Structure 1
Amino acid sequence: MRKENSTNAINENYLNEHCGITYTLSAIGGRWKINILSYLLYNQKLRYSELKTRLKGVSERMLSAKLKELESDGLINRIVHPQVPPKVEYELTELGRSLSEILQLMDKWGEEKMMENVV
Structure 2
Amino acid sequence: MKNKIINPEAEQRCGVDYAFKRIGGKYKGRILWHLHSKKVLRYGELSRTLPDITTKMLTQTLRELEEDKLITREVYHVVPPKVEYSLSSTGLELIPFIKHLHNWGNQQLEKENLECQP
> What TM-score range do you get, normalising by the shorter chain?
0.7 to 0.9
Q: Which residue of 2 aligns with 1:96?
A: 91
Q: Which residue of 2 aligns with 1:48?
A: 43
The count of residues paired between Structure 1 and Structure 2 equals 109
Letter of the 1:55 partner, please give it: L
Tell me whether 1:76 sits opposite 2:71 in the alignment: yes
SS in 2 for 1:67: helix
Question: Once superposed, which parts of structure 1, at least 4 consecutive aligned residues long, lie more than 2 Å away?
Answer: none
TM-score by structure 2 length? Answer: 0.86
Identity, % of aligned positions? 37
Normalized per residue, the structure richer in helix is 1
- Higher relative CO (Cα under 8 Å, sequence separation at least 6) belongs to 2
Q: Distance in 2 between matches of 1:24 and 1:98?
A: 12
SS in 2 for 1:27: helix
* Alpha-carbon offset, residue 113 of structure 1: 0.9
TM-score by structure 1 length? Answer: 0.85
Q: What does 1:60-75 correspond to in 2, within 5 Å? A: 60-75=55-70
Letter of the 1:87 partner, please give it: K
Gaps of 5+ in 2: none
The equivalent position to 1:112 in structure 2, one of 95, 98, 107, is 107
Tell me which structure has the larger Cα radius of gyration: 2
CA RMSD of aligned residues (A): 1.8
